[in-house]
Amino acid sequence: MLFHSSIRKELARSFGATLVVLVTVVMTMTLIRTLGEAGRGVFNPADVMIIMGYTVLSDMPTILSMCLFIAVLSVLTRMFRDSEMVIWFGSGYGLTSLIKPLFRFAWPILLVITALALLILPWAYGRIEDMRDRYEKRGDIARIEPGQFQESANGERVFFIEKDASGQQAGSNVFIATHKNDKETITSSRSGHVEVINGEKFLILQNGQRLEKTAGKPDLTVAVFKNYGAQVDADDQSARSFVPSAAKSTLELLSDPTKPHVAELSWRVGLALAAINFVVIGLAAAGVNPRVGRTANLGFAFMAFIVYFNLLILGKSWIETGQVHVGVYLLALHGGALGLASLWLAKRHNNWVFKRPPIGSGSPSSAKVAP
């Protein structure tokens, strides 16, 4: 039908424009947050753009759901405002007849949201955790930054290099403070470079001095050296010792249905169910009220979206702590949202009006006339 085709085209334009805006906003916020984490030493600064890409990809189910909700609500609200719905209603059709064209437009998006939630989301989280873990396990040489005090992986050493020769693993004004086995050692030198001796990495210091002190003893040993070698730790290539439930695949969660795994499954399945409910809620809420302005429906969309997804997060924590069963939660939240939206849609479709009975109304009493 031509009318259905025009609705789908307008929905596609609105959805595309909203998607571009929201992705731009999310990318900007994610970039700022990732830069802050890189500055605190959580991520490698060279991996900021990659981390941002994975983070935005993991947020795509939420972004697509919100874009779909706003597109349905804004397009139908415009049709009410421009009296196009009057023509539709005058042809003998009601609001429920729009369910078919809306879902014909939305089903590819719903399919993408489901695939992202069940497959891509854990993969993206896993890549982020791998990069975080790999950066935490980097060797001592990789941790050294010119002009900054850096701690070794095991926490026993603190390094400082004033300047370095890029690509040559050499630097000047080297400072190393070590605390191990109740001994404190401070080593400084004018220059240093990295050498590989018998397969092990050594930091060779030149023209410096070494101070050593044992805890609880007043003695202080001072040694001046021309060349001094200190072994440095290599990169830790071991696998991650802990894998969060968010980084595990859906099949792994299903094979081991513990409370954290079931809670994560409820979150992923809830993303897909919420997107379906938002289509029905958008259809039921579409309309125009001249007294509240044009932005009232958009404000409602943001409020409903925030409340719904906060309930998703809250329900995940309840399931993880055993306060509610996953079946009860899914039925109460998603089934309840669908039921309320369907009831609201049926009320508007059938023009149901709920009136309160007048106060003091009752059966009329027979009038008596005095003789």
Instruction: Give the total number of structural domains in the chain.
Output: 2
DSSP class per residue in 91-137: TT--GGGGHHHHHHHHHHHHHHHHHIIIIIHHHHHHHHHHHHHHHHT
For Cα atoms 125, 129, 131, give the angle at the middle one, nearest 5 degrees: 120
Q: How many residues does the chain have?
A: 371
For Cα atoms 260, 261, 262, give the angle at the middle one, nearest 5 degrees: 95
Same domain, 177 and 112: no
Q: Which domain does 93 fall in, by range? A: 2-136+244-350
- Between CA 351 and CA 65 the distance in angstroms is 29
Q: Minimal CA–CA distance to 230: which of 141, 136, 138? A: 141
What predicted TM-score, i.e. pTM, was given to this entire model?
A: 0.74
Same domain, 312 and 257: yes
pLDDT at residue 211 is higher than 60: yes
Q: What is the side-by-side order of every strand in the sheet holding 150-151?
A: 150-151, 157-165, 170-180, 183-197, 200-214, 220-231
pLDDT at residue 139 is higher than 60: no
pLDDT at residue 35 is higher than 70: yes
Asked whether 226 and 211 are in contact (CB, 8 A), the reply is: no
Is 101 part of any domain? yes
Is 366 part of any domain? no
- Between CA 278 and CA 305 the distance in angstroms is 8
* pLDDT tens string 15-30: 999 999 999 999 999 8
Residue 368: predicted pLDDT: 45
pLDDT at residue 362 is higher than 90: no
* pLDDT tens string 154-172: 667 777 777 665 555 666 7
Q: With bands split at pLDDT 50, 70 and 90, how would you rate the model's confidence at 60?
A: very high
Same domain, 147 and 182: yes
- Between CA 193 and CA 271 the distance in angstroms is 53
Give the burial class of 129: count Cβ atoms within 10 A of its Cβ; 0-12 exposed, 13-18 middle, 19 or more buried.
middle
pLDDT at residue 233 is higher than 90: no
Domain termination residue (choose one: 163, 198, 231) = 231
Same domain, 176 and 191: yes
Mean pLDDT of 331-338: 92
Is 355 part of any domain? no
- Between CA 74 and CA 89 the distance in angstroms is 19
Residue 366: predicted pLDDT: 44
pLDDT at residue 276 is higher than 90: yes
- φ, ψ of residue 10 in degrees (nearest 5): -70, -35
Is 105 part of any domain? yes
Same domain, 216 and 302: no
Same domain, 131 and 34: yes
* Dihedral sign (CA 11, 15, 18, 21): negative
Residue 355: predicted pLDDT: 63
Strand partners, 186: 177, 211
134 against 361, higher pLDDT: 134
Is 67 part of any domain? yes
Is 361 part of any domain? no
CA distances 91 to 100, 224, 251, Å, are 17, 98, 49
Same domain, 168 and 57: no
Cβ contacts of 70 within 8 Å, gap of 6 or more = 14, 18, 298, 301
Cβ contacts of 284 within 8 Å, gap of 6 or more = 95, 341, 342, 344, 345, 348
Mean pLDDT of 82-88: 72
Residue 9: predicted pLDDT: 87
Residue 367: predicted pLDDT: 43
